Amino acid sequence: MDVKIEAGWKAHLKTEFEKEYFSQLISFVKEEYNTQRIYPPGKLIFNAFDECPFDQLKVVILGQDPYHGPGQAHGLCFSVNDGIPFPPSLRNIFKELKEDVGKEIPKSGNLTDWAQQGVLLLNATLTVRAHQAGSHQKKGWEEFTDAAIQTASDQKEHLVFLLWGNYAISKRRLIDENKHLVLTSVHPSPLSASRGFFGNKHFSKTNDFLQQNGLQPIRW
């Protein structure tokens, strides 16, 4: 199957594209786009990979589902398009970022600049029906994104994985912690942020690790 995705990722994930589950997944997704309102726009399904080429990968941040409101999702976890109000979790991410590294809260919640510096902003599920959280879970996306995480762990060195919340932490089993730094905390959601997301200093810890291994830090 010819999947339109960044060339480096395409080369490393090519065996996934030939598997039966992926064929069934794509058939399901195409039917959903034809009959339902689905986010993100079809051309942005693999945006996390396209904006963060495999060869430039430094950091992985894991989310669960795309935003399911109008105009929000554009293929990067936690990120929203320019001009869209910050969802609560993203607002808390920016609060922690300000406390940790002193960066003022930006006007836009678009995190494309992070992606282009080597931050893979990966949702476990890459599509969702409008206003129906979790509607495309357990259709095959998780198998594909697990393979992407495992491939990154196997093929790269000195990555930082930021796992926020129990769902993201469950992916820890896919990561070789002898080669990579794994940082975990509760989710930045307002329901949990005050119980350990605030004060986790993951942004400065990420840059410290990258610099210790001769890599450019992220300009958060």
- Mean pLDDT in the chain? 97
What mean pLDDT is predicted for residues 36-56? 98
Q: What is the CATH number of the domain that holds 182?
A: 3.40.470.10
User: Quick check: is 2 in a domain?
Assistant: no
**Does residue 176 form part of some domain?**
yes
- Give the CA dihedral 85, 47, 64, 33, nearest 10 degrees: 90
Instruction: Give the model confidence (pLDDT) of 138-148 as tens digits.
Output: 999 999 999 99
Of the candidates 50, 65, 82, 208, the residue annotated as catalytic is 65
pLDDT category at 111 given cuts 50, 70, 90 is very high
Q: Give 11-22 pLDDT, tens digit per residue.
A: 999 999 999 999
159 near 59, Cβ under 8 Å? yes
Confidence band for 2, pLDDT divided at 50, 70 and 90: confident
Using the structure block, give the residue that is written with the tokens 């902003």: 121
Query: Is residue 220 a part of any domain in this protein?
Result: no
Residue 154 is a catalytic residue: no
**63 is a domain residue:** yes
Residue 98 CB burial class (10 angstroms; 0-12, 13-18, ≥19):
middle
* 80 located within any domain: yes
pLDDT at 1 over 80: no
Mean pLDDT across 95-112? 97
In the predicted model, what is the mean pLDDT of residues 196-200? 98
Nearest to 90 by CA among 195, 164, 160: 164
Distance CA 158, CA 68 (A): 33
> Is residue 218, in this structure, part of any structural domain at all?
no
Look at residue 1 and tell me if it is in a domain: no
Asked, for residue 144, whether it belongs to a domain, the answer is yes
| Nearest alpha-carbon partner for 140 in 8, 4, 16 | 16
Domain count, the chain: 1
Mean pLDDT of 64-93: 97
Residue ranges making up the domain that contains 181: 7-213
